[in-house]
Amino acid sequence: MSDAVELKSLIGGDWREGAGAAIESTNPARPGEVVARGRAVLPADVDDAFAAARAAAPAWAATPLHARGEVLARAAAIIDANAEAWGAELTAEEGKTLAEGIGEVRRAAAVLRYQAEAGNREQGSVFASPRAGEQILVTHKPLGVVGVVTPFNFPIAIPAWKIAPALVYGNTVVWKPASAVPLLAYRLASALHDAGLPAGVLNLVLGGSALGDAIVDHAELDGLTFTGSTGVGRSLAGRVAARGVPMQAEMGGKNASVVLADADLDLAAEQVLFGAFRSTGQKCTATSRLVLDEAIAEDFLDRLRALLKNWRVGDPSSPASDMGPVVSERAASDIAASVMQAVEGGARVVLGGEAPEGAFLAPTLLEMPAGAAGEENLAWNEEFFGPVLSIRRVSGVREAFEVANHGDLGLSCAVFTRDIATALSAVDGIDVGMLHVNSESAGADPHVPFGGAKRSGYGPKEQGLAAREFFTHTTTVYLRG
């Protein structure tokens, strides 16, 4: 990367230099390299952002759905045209590999293209009336001003899949991205601004958690969408629910890959490798639990270890690297400390487990102790958000599903089997929002619902048509001529 990019916030259609603390995003793979810098805005600027969003809301809501979609389609074209450059910036800022960085930027464009088509889909419904001469219509209307709070790990795709449906369904937005990845937020906001989004429809506030608090507690907030940790999500939900403000939260996962005795072991090993270690394990959908039928456990682990021998950890901007660092040195040392704690609780290091080098961690396999100690081990229950995979052995399908279901999270799960009846039994037997049969636990297509079961999700799901449920409310119209 060359010179650091100068960042600005976007408020009321103008790029605003903050008057708050200096903000700087740095490259986790290259100590000292500054990727972007600027100044945080102040909570008072968040007031301006809400005032602008409120003022822009009526005209934007009155803009035809097709015309709102056209703005998103133009932004998608801008994003696609910049995919390589912005993908490289994403890699420099977040640490995922260049292929993943470029892939994510293209994914953001795909999400915008999907939502841009909302005007060409059925919107609302008509019911028969029990009374003569009447029809009953159900129409969708925007919530108003929506707060968007996004995490570091998908700095453009997750914001895109929140902001695109928010906008296309006629809401205006105040958005605070994670402070580790302001550059990609600035790129997405620029694309939408340059695509002709009217002033005040999207407001970007760059800075620290005080801005998130200012959004969450703002009197003008009509809805809040959040992706991040379970702890933060729950506390935000409590704050907004107390004021009757709806919230959508995508939170933690402790996602299992279940490899059954009849699985294609080569396929399963490859998919577990991708699920656990792509993006350095920093996905809420990453595989962090491995449930192995004891009949194939050794055989499977041999194959996984063989694949990991060729798994190259290094500078993510090099095409030779399969895995980059985690997002920061701090994150790496927190994850390493959690691994040590898991080992103190009886976990056995099968592979990796070395001290971090800067923000780099080795892929780590931990075998849980047998019985209750395994079920209670930190590494079986806590989301480390890094390249750590915790293993338990089971006997048979029933125990495998039980072990995979343990705990109160239920985001996604992968089941490996050649038997269609077993695969079908997983649909009811495993309590998750996304079930993958013979493919890795991560991944999300723009046109289908995304979100968790149990305590992984709160409020309506994201993506696809499902997104409309959160970003609109309905008006039921009893219509007589």
Interface ranges with ligand UN1 (CB under 6 A): 151, 153-154, 158, 227, 250, 283-285, 442-444
Q: Which is nearer to ligand UN1, 161 or 360 (CB)?
A: 161
For residue 343, the minimal CB distance to ligand UN1 (Å) is 26
- C-alpha separations of 411 from 69, 319, 358 in Å: 30, 31, 30
Comparing CB distances to ligand UN1, the nearer of 258 and 442 is 442
Query: What count of other Cβ atoms lies within 10 Å of the Cβ of residue 428?
Result: 8
Q: Which two tokens stand for residue 25?
A: 């995003």
Strands 453-454, 457-458: parallel, antiparallel or unpaired by DSSP?
unpaired
Work out how close the CB of 475 gets to ligand UN1 at its nearest, in angstroms, rounded to a whole number. Answer: 30
To the nearest whole angstrom, how small is the minimum distance from the Cβ of residue 442 to ligand UN1? 4
Give the three-state DSSP class for 257: strand
* Beta carbon of residue 160, minimum distance to ligand UN1 (angstroms, whole number): 11
Give yes or no: 469 in active site: no
CB of 284 to ligand UN1, least distance (A): 3
The DSSP call for residue 462 is B
**Beta strands 34-39 and 125-128: pairing type?**
unpaired
Q: Note the maximum CA span of the chain.
A: 75
- The closest of 208, 108, 205 to 155, measured between CA atoms, is 108
How many H-runs (helices) and E-runs (strands) does the chain carry? 16, 23
CA end-to-end span of the chain:
65
Least Å from the CB of residue 220 to ligand UN1: 26
Q: Which of 250, 367, 383, 462 is catalytic?
A: 250
In angstroms, rounded to a whole number, what is the distance separating the alpha carbons of residues 165 and 116? 8
What interhelical angle do 209-216 and 230-241 show, nearest 10?
30
Quick one: angle between helices 182-194 and 83-94, nearest 10? 150
Residue whose pair of structure tokens reads 């906008």 in the numeric block: 167
* Residue closer to ligand UN1 (CB basis): 171 or 279: 279
Residue 450 is given by DSSP the state B
Q: Which is nearer to ligand UN1, 142 or 253 (CB)?
A: 253
Closest to ligand UN1 by CB, 172 or 412: 412
Q: Which is nearer to ligand UN1, 158 or 174 (CB)?
A: 158
| Positions marked active-site | 250
